[in-house]
Chain A
Amino acid sequence: MMQEKRKVFYIRRAIFLIMAIAVAIPLLVKISMPIIVSWPTRDLYEAVEKVPPDKIVVISNNWAAGTQGETAPQTAALIYHLAKRHKKFALWGWNSVQGPLLAQQIAEPIAQKFGLKYGVDWVNWGFKTGSDQMVRAWARDIPGTMKEDINHTPMSKLPFMKNVRDHKDIGLIVEITGSATVGTYIRFLYGIYRTPIGYGCTGVMVPEAFPYLDAGQLVGMMRGLVGAAEYEELAGYKDGKAGKRMAAQSFAHMLIIALIIVGNAGYFIARRRKNAHAEGGQP
């Protein structure tokens, strides 16, 4: 019994080590892999391209550091695209306290690179509490609901907010999240005002989003890290992190597949031995 416990202990740690090696090696060794862009990402890219110059793009950052492995590259790729096309964008969040600040730290160097001015070309409205009730109020009166930005500058003092009043001034909302918050926008922005909604989510939430894509309630989607890599490819974002992680992602996926096969092979072999013993009458 003790021996079995020790065996299980060391097998688990060996698997952890193999996982770490499987991820580390492709990060250290250049393995170029072509990225094939899927249609949800392409649709999102094109939706961003179609945003008229007199409207803004709102990036809703309802993600925290716990999901930054996927959501941070998505945010970076999207902001890069917006900055490259000089489309005005606003950051905010209402479900995660960390989201707006993390997005700010991603946006600042990219905005600087393209010469975008804070307060004129982009803003960060910061974090606001509340969900459905607050979002409904926000959709009808953005400056009145926001009051000030993340740096405590009143809305009235931001040139960006000069022509931003309500949902009619939003060309696209992209919800980047690790939790089930896109429903609020689907229900009360698209559902009532038909505001286009894009989605950037963690891999876990991808299958649940397809019904909304099919119904047209979402205009496009970045599917986790893969989606971020595809978006970087479309936007020409060479410094993006997602594309560089795809080799490691590939190795890890193959490892999981191998572990399932090996685990089941061991299980079936052990079961066959057990059945053979039982038939042979041996204990």
Chain B
Amino acid sequence: MNHPDAWVIWIGVICTLAVYSILYRENPVFRFFEHVYIGLAAGYGIFTTVTQVLVPQWGIPLFKEGKWSWIFSMLIGVMFYFVYSKRHVWIARWAMALFIGTGAGLGIAGFVTEFVPQMKASIKPIWHAPWTLNTFSFNNLLMFITLITVMSYFFFSIEHKRPVLKGSAQTGRWLLMIAFGAIFGNTVMARVSLFIDRMQFLLFEWLKFHQPY
């Protein structure tokens, strides 16, 4: 946002402080602005879809360029609204079936393009000629062990009672904890970043503190 007007900043400040009021306790101001937020998001969704999808992609080709086949897109799209009718809900299901079918088809194609490279990348050399310490890759060995043990942890077709599978699954569980720890560490960074952005807005754009950098 380039040099916003003062009143735009004040609107932002009121909205920000109203939402932060929930941190003290539940209150009607927060609930009010929560509903305003949902309303604005819904309204913006309507505006964007109409102006950037429906009019240029459908309205202009159909009514301005005379491409009459586009009417069928509307007819199929409108079928979704029969979900609100108990008697004619099957019409909405027919339209949904189209999306579910294409989604399933794309899912099958997508599995190949997404996971075959992953499988290829999993096969890494652990040790190769001339079989010295320099050609031994500890990281690749660790990756292999982690992959196999974590996969064995999620393998439920056989009960985890046999020593090899049990040991492997337990090892995988411990290694998975490291992955979850890494996820948590990154989640902390993500959440805090969002608050830092708001704090910068309040301190520098509203209160006009001097920026030290």
Binding site for B on A (CB under 8 A): 13, 16, 19-20, 23-24, 27-30, 66-70, 72, 97-98, 100, 105, 108-109, 126-129, 132-133, 136, 147-148, 150, 152, 183, 186-188, 190-192, 202-204, 206-207, 211-212, 214-217, 223-226, 241, 243-245, 248-249, 252-253, 256
8 Å CB contacts to A: which residues of B181-198?
182-183, 186-198
A124 to chain B, nearest CB (A): 10
Question: Which of B24, B102, B121, B199 has the most C-beta atoms of chain A within 10 angstroms of its own C-beta?
Answer: B199
Listed by A's residue number, 19 A-B pairs whose Cβ atoms lie within 8 Å are A19-B195, A28-B203, A69-B197, A97-B45, A100-B52, A105-B1, A105-B2, A127-B49, A132-B110, A147-B60, A148-B56, A191-B114, A202-B193, A216-B117, A217-B117, A217-B118, A223-B186, A244-B211, A249-B196
Q: Chain B residues in contact with chain A, CB under 8 A?
A: 1-2, 23-24, 44-45, 48-49, 51-53, 56-57, 60-61, 102-103, 106, 109-110, 112-114, 117-118, 120-121, 179, 182-183, 186-200, 203-204, 209, 211-213
9 extra interchain contacts, Cβ-Cβ under 8 A, other than A202-B193, A203-B186, A203-B193?
A: A24-B199, A27-B199, A29-B212, A70-B194, A152-B51, A191-B114, A203-B191, A216-B121, A224-B193
**Contact status A127-B199, CB under 8 Å:** no
Known: A23-B195, A225-B193, A249-B196. A191 touches B52 (CB 8 A): no
Q: Which among A27, A148, A190, A192 has the greatest number of chain B C-beta atoms within 10 A? A: A27
- The majority secondary structure among interface residues of chain B is helix
B200 touches A241 (CB 8 A): yes
Shortest beta-carbon distance, B4 to chain A, in Å?
10
Q: Is the CB of B106 within 8 A of A204?
A: no
A13 near B23 (CB under 8 angstroms)?
yes
Q: Which residues of A contact B44 (CB under 8 A)?
A: 97-98
Tell whether, in the assembled complex, residue A127 and residue B114 are in contact, meaning their CB atoms are under 8 Å apart. no
A136 to B182, CA, bound (A): 34
Residues of the B chain whose Cβ atoms lie less than 8 Å from the Cβ of A126: 52
Residues A207 and B196 in contact, CB atoms below 8 Å apart: no
A243 to chain B, nearest CB (A): 8
Q: List chain B residues, Cβ under 8 A from A127.
A: 48-49, 52-53
Chain B residues positioned under 8 Å from A150 (CB to CB): 52
Contact B189 A211 (CB under 8 A): no
The answer to whether A215 touches B121 (Cβ under 8 A) is: yes
- A81 CB to nearest B CB, Å: 20
Most buried by A among B2, B60, B200, B209: B200
Q: In the complex, which residue of chain A has the Cβ closest to the Cβ of B53?
A: A129
A211 contacts which chain B residues (CB < 8 A)? 118, 121
By a CB distance below 8 angstroms, the chain B residues around A13 are 23-24
Measured CB to CB, the closest approach of chain A to B62, in angstroms, equals 12
Chain A residues closer than 8 Å to B121, beta-carbon distance: 211, 214-216
| CB atoms of B118 and A206 under 8 A apart | no
Known contacts A98-B44, A187-B113, A215-B118: does B194 contact A204 (CB below 8 Å)? no
